[in-house]
């Protein structure tokens, strides 16, 4: 199985070990559910995953190191959650091309966001941001 999609249910957690047993996944869609935190057992071990969609849940944080082994992750959609901050290791998400963080509770962005040199799409609308890091201008591939 290369795609796992359970969009539009009332799921708040997945069976223990489910995601880690699906080691050929390239796309995970858990949007429009009732997750309050990242599902356990993934995606740290997913070396093939390129897209994760957790839009419209109730997740308040992205755990530090969660994407440490997801080296192919290029698209993350966390729109319409309750995120208040981003993990300090965001600068290690080297292959990220599209990052949707719209409609959350973010008040600031880590300076290391400048390390996402492949980033083309960054959506930050409807947050509580007071400033944008000046180094965001170093993201040369960012489309306006």
What does pLDDT average to in each consecutive run of 10 residues of the chain (144 residues)? 95 89 90 92 73 97 86 96 95 95 97 95 97 91 85
Query: Which pLDDT value is given to residue 86?
Result: 95
> Which sequence spans correspond to the domains of the chain?
1-144
Pick the CATH number of 1-144 from 3.60.20.30, 3.80.10.10, 3.30.1330.10, 3.40.50.150: 3.80.10.10
Query: Which pLDDT value is given to residue 144?
Result: 65
Distances (CA, A) of 37 to 6, 53, 98, 100, 118: 16, 13, 21, 17, 27
Query: Which pLDDT value is given to residue 66?
Result: 85
Query: Which pLDDT value is given to residue 45?
Result: 64
Which two structure tokens, joined as six digits, stand for 58? Answer: 């109730």
Query: Which pLDDT value is given to residue 47?
Result: 81
Query: Which pLDDT value is given to residue 46?
Result: 73
Determine if the peptide bond prior to 43 is cis (ω within 30°): yes
Query: Which pLDDT value is given to residue 43?
Result: 57
DSSP state of 21: H
In whole angstroms, what is the distance from residue 21 CA to residue 30 CA?
16
In whole angstroms, what is the distance from residue 105 CA to residue 14 CA?
25
Using left for φ > 0, alpha for ψ between -120 and 50, and beta otherwise, residue 80 falls in left
pTM: 0.94
């Amino acid at each position: 199985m290369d795609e796992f999609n359970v969009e539009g249910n009332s799921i708040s957690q997945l069976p223990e070990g489910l995601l880690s047993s699906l080691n050929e996944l390239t796309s995970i869609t858990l949007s429009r559910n009732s997750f309050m935190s990242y599902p356990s057992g993934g995606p740290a071990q997913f070396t093939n995953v390129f897209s994760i969609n957790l839009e419209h849940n109730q997740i308040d944080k992205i755990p530090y190191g969660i994407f440490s082994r997801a080296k192919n992750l290029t698209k993350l959609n966390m729109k319409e959650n309750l995120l208040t901050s981003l993990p300090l290791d965001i600068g290690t998400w080297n292959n990220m091309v599209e990052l949707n963080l719209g409609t959350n509770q973010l008040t600031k962005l880590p300076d290391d966001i400048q390390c996402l040199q492949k980033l083309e799409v960054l959506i930050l609308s409807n947050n509580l941001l007071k400033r944008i890091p000046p180094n965001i201008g170093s993201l040369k591939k960012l489309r306006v």
